[in-house]
Amino acid sequence: MNCRIAQSLSLKIAAAALVSAAVALQAQTTPPAAPESQDAKMKWFREAKFGLFIHWGLYCIPAGEWKGQPIAGIGEWIMNRAKIPVKEYEQLASQFNPVKFDADAWAQMAQDAGMKYLVITSKHHDGFAMYHSQVSKYNIYDATPFHRDPLKELAAACARHGLKFGFYYSQSQDWHEPNGAGNNWDFPANPQKDFDQYLRSKAEPQVKELLTGYGPICLIWFDTPQMMNTPETKERGQRFIDIVKSLQPATLIDGRLGTAGDYVSMGDNRIPDAVVKGDWEVPATLNHTWGFKKDDTDWKTPADLTFKLVDIVSKGGNYLLNVGPTSEGVIPQASQDNLRAVGRWLKVNGEAIYGAGPTPFGDELGAPDNTRQDKNGKPVFVQATDWRCTTKPGKLYIHIFHWPSGSLELAKVNYKVSKAYFLADASHKALKLTQKGEHVSVALPDKAPGELATVVVLEHRGN
């Protein structure tokens, strides 16, 4: 090669390398622009309605059994429930080699299920990081034969599939660290710990890693805010808020930081009885555990899952539904099948879910039974399950779960309904409709035309 050309070429390459290094550096140091308002920040979340939660960690190896004994309770708590010493639990890492893990297959499944966002455990209470952390060697890249960063692969796969990507991070409990909350079988009890030492040396720097190395993070899902949920300890939560805001101001913070986040997290598997205003989410399981347990095959049915999704949306919330992949890196087949069944329903009926608002009614949700009291002395709420209503401007979507004979009868309809049709009917053929004041009647065929739930659209004017 001509020497001058070679020289200028290598100069160009050097210049290009400098520019790309500068761009990379800029990406690291200049945070993306903050959303213009809280409404703008929440927009995708309010549209999404349905997300995939993934609990994956070392606990999927024992899968609910320790030294031949089944350990009761949720699978990811096995270290705590069986009081497994750190030195023993740590050894699971050397066995963790989930070679069947396929990030695109997981993202594809979430997409098939009609889910719009995915939230995965980057570190659960056991303290093991499921990504390549520089802060602690106790991570899937450095401490296992797998020697890959599955969260990096998943972030890329989600981007390819148009899914938003977020992290669960257990900020308070860390049973691997002497000063992390929760482990009192190897270490001193919580009040004797130097909790801020743990926060500053592990949790805070790891959250920084997660918000810099994995592209746009739609939300960060903190959990169990022990030692950071009182007025005196609020400052600890604020430090996490400051980190998130400085690195990715568009990232939402869930409701379990200990300090108010961007939305409310309901209790695990807790669906409220009535409409709740504001932004909220129900984290929920498909069986009775978050992390994989080989003996738990008590799966919720597609009909139940569809009902719960519609129920939650009709009350104004989001549904974050969990899978617990195995130690091979596979999402249990029953979980996949049941989620895909919901996805097929959503393919037809998604208009009534994504971006939909809550019911204007409320009586269809159920009523308290004043003759029976729960353990708090409150009347037991008896849920009704015949139908639910979701809304968009000019439209009521009536999701029918128990098919009535002859007609759908709705009282208290405060709108002038102009047309009724099945959402599944692309031709929008009008159903026979009569309205007398606030009473609306829609003639129905003998059998439900749809599976899982049939949606009748009522178009209206006014209000």
- Sequence-distant (≥ 6) Cβ neighbours of residue 112 within 8 angstroms: 339, 340, 343
Q: Within positions 193 to 252, which residues make up the interface with ligand H79, using CB under 6 A?
A: 223-224
Measured between alpha carbons, how far is 303 from 319 in angstroms, rounded to an integer? 15
Is 127 among the residues that bind ligand H79 (CB under 6 A)?
Answer: no
* Pick 283 or 316: Cβ nearer ligand H79: 283
Closest distance to ligand H79 from the beta carbon of 238 (Å)? 22
Closest distance to ligand H79 from the beta carbon of 374 (Å)? 19
Give me 317's structure tokens: 């919330």
Angle between helices 302-314 and 333-349 (to 10 degrees): 50
Region from 73-81, 203-211, 380-388, 452-460 binding ligand H79, contact rule CB under 6 A = 73-81
Residue 382 near residue 366 (C-beta atoms within 8 A): yes
Binding mask 152-181 for ligand H79 (x = CB under 6 A): ------------------------------
Region from 4-12, 74-82, 106-114, 142-150 binding ligand H79, contact rule CB under 6 A = 74-82
Is 325 among the residues that bind ligand H79 (CB under 6 A)?
Answer: no
Distances, alpha carbon 303 to alpha carbons 15, 131, 285, 344, 390, in Å: 60, 35, 15, 12, 18
Region from 71-79, 366-374, 391-399, 427-435 binding ligand H79, contact rule CB under 6 A = 71-79
Is 397 among the residues that bind ligand H79 (CB under 6 A)?
Answer: no
Measured between alpha carbons, how far is 343 from 357 in angstroms, rounded to an integer? 20
Which three-class secondary structure state does DSSP give residue 100?
A: coil
Residue 323 near residue 54 (C-beta atoms within 8 A): yes
Closest distance to ligand H79 from the beta carbon of 327 (Å)? 18
Which three-class secondary structure state does DSSP give residue 434?
A: strand
* Pick 168 or 240: Cβ nearer ligand H79: 168
Q: What is the total count of residues that contact ligand H79 (CB under 6 A)? A: 10
Binding mask 32-61 for ligand H79 (x = CB under 6 A): -----------------------x------
Among 51, 64, 71, 76, binds ligand H79 (CB under 6 A): 76
Closest distance to ligand H79 from the beta carbon of 73 (Å)? 4
Is 296 among the residues that bind ligand H79 (CB under 6 A)?
Answer: no
Closest distance to ligand H79 from the beta carbon of 221 (Å)? 8
Is 292 among the residues that bind ligand H79 (CB under 6 A)?
Answer: no
Measured between alpha carbons, how far is 120 from 106 in angstroms, rounded to an integer? 11
> What is the CB neighbour count within 10 angstroms for residue 393?
6
Measured between alpha carbons, how far is 27 from 444 in angstroms, rounded to an integer? 57
CA 357 to chain centre: 19
Among 45, 59, 77, 387, binds ligand H79 (CB under 6 A): 77
Measured between alpha carbons, how far is 387 from 402 in angstroms, rounded to an integer? 7
**Residue reference for tokens 């049973």:** 175
Closest distance to ligand H79 from the beta carbon of 289 (Å)? 9
* Pick 322 or 454: Cβ nearer ligand H79: 322
Measured between alpha carbons, how far is 434 from 443 in angstroms, rounded to an integer? 9
Strand-by-strand arrangement of the 395-400 sheet? 387-392, 395-400, 454-461, 416-422
Is 184 among the residues that bind ligand H79 (CB under 6 A)?
Answer: no
Among 283, 329, 332, 343, binds ligand H79 (CB under 6 A): 283
Measured between alpha carbons, how far is 50 from 215 in angstroms, rounded to an integer? 21
* Pick 92 or 423: Cβ nearer ligand H79: 92
H/E stretch holding 87 reads helix 86-89
Among 198, 240, 290, 307, binds ligand H79 (CB under 6 A): 290
Which residue of this chain has its Cβ atom nearest to ligand H79 in the complex? 73
Region from 69-77, 82-90, 130-138, 174-182 binding ligand H79, contact rule CB under 6 A = 69-77
**Residue reference for tokens 């099945």:** 422
Region from 72-80, 147-155, 175-183, 398-406 binding ligand H79, contact rule CB under 6 A = 72-80
Report the amino acid identity of residue 435. Answer: Q
Measured between alpha carbons, how far is 399 from 453 in angstroms, rounded to an integer? 6
In the complex, which residues of this chain contact ligand H79 (CB under 6 A)?
A: 55, 73-74, 76-77, 223-224, 268, 283, 290
